[in-house]
């Protein structure tokens, strides 16, 4: 092995790496916010008394959960223009990540809601609360406590999944690393740094989620 490691050549590019981390975090935050909203709507659809809504929600969840994320990204970016809907790479990336997270989080949230004893819902009705108030004041925290570790893991997974959207030239850490690689021709060093940055971001967020779990869910539900 005659390869000579030279990480010093990447020092002038540290601002680009930092910008890549920021773009990844921003993309992840937007996708999490939209994806969670989609997931909640999908859960409401699955629990609806209207058969068409249940059917649409179930089809959406099954299609997204059983197809590769890369195919979903390529379909949104390259396929939708055939139908007259063209999206920028970043918009297509947000759409794909949000729809993907929405489907997975919907099943996680549904599991949490179904873990709450039926008596809790009946107690809310006995107190004169409507379904939304019952969910907000009685069901939400016990359900969230049950599924929080799974949701937190899904958020971290989304952060790592953003690397795939570089395939459509969306701006995030992997695409920045590819640009730096094309400038420096130090592929090994570039992708080692990129991997370490992903590891650092996911470790920080995993730690934050664990602290939230400890301090928020360690107390009995009121």
Q: What is the CATH number of the domain that holds 21?
A: 1.10.3720.10
The domain containing residue 33 runs over which residues? 16-216
Domain assignment of residue 11, yes or no: no
Domain assignment of residue 148, yes or no: yes
Domain assignment of residue 121, yes or no: yes
The pLDDT of residue 222: 46
28-57, pLDDT tens digit by residue? 999 999 999 999 999 989 888 889 999 999
Domain assignment of residue 8, yes or no: no
Domain assignment of residue 116, yes or no: yes
Q: How far is the CA of 191 from the CAs of 104, 148, 159, 175, 195, in angstroms?
A: 29, 32, 17, 11, 6
The pLDDT of residue 221: 47
Domain assignment of residue 138, yes or no: yes
Per DSSP, the residues of 176-215 read HHHHHHHHH--HHHHHHHHHHHHHHHHHHHHHHHHHHHHH
Domain assignment of residue 158, yes or no: yes
Number of domains in the chain: 1
Low pLDDT (below 50) residues in the chain: 221-222
The pLDDT of residue 32: 95
């Amino acid at each position: 092995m005659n390869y000579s490691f030279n990480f010093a050549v990447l020092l002038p590019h540290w601002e680009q790496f930092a910008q890549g981390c920021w773009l990844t975090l921003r993309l992840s935050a937007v996708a999490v916010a939209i994806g969670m909203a989609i997931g909640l709507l999908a859960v409401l659809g699955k629990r609806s008394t209207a058969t068409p809504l249940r059917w649409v929600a179930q089809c959406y969840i099954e299609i997204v959960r059983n197809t590769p994320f890369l195919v979903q990204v390529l379909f949104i970016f390259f396929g939708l223009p055939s139908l007259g809907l063209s999206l920028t790479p970043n918009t297509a990336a947000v759409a794909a990540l949000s729809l993907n997270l929405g489907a997975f989080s919907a099943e996680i949230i549904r599991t949490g809601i179904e873990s709450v004893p039926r008596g809790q819902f009946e107690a809310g009705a006995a107190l004169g609360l409507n379904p939304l108030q019952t969910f907000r004041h009685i069901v939400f925290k016990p359900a969230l406590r049950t599924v929080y570790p799974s949701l937190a893991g899904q958020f971290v997974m989304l952060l790592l999944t953003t690397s795939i959207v570089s395939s459509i030239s969306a701006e995030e850490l992997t695409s920045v690393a590819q640009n730096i690689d094309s400038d420096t021709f130090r592929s090994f060093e570039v992708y080692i740094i990129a991997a370490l940055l992903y590891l650092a971001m996911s470790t920080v967020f995993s730690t934050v989620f664990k602290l939230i779990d400890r301090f928020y869910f360690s107390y009995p539900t009121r």
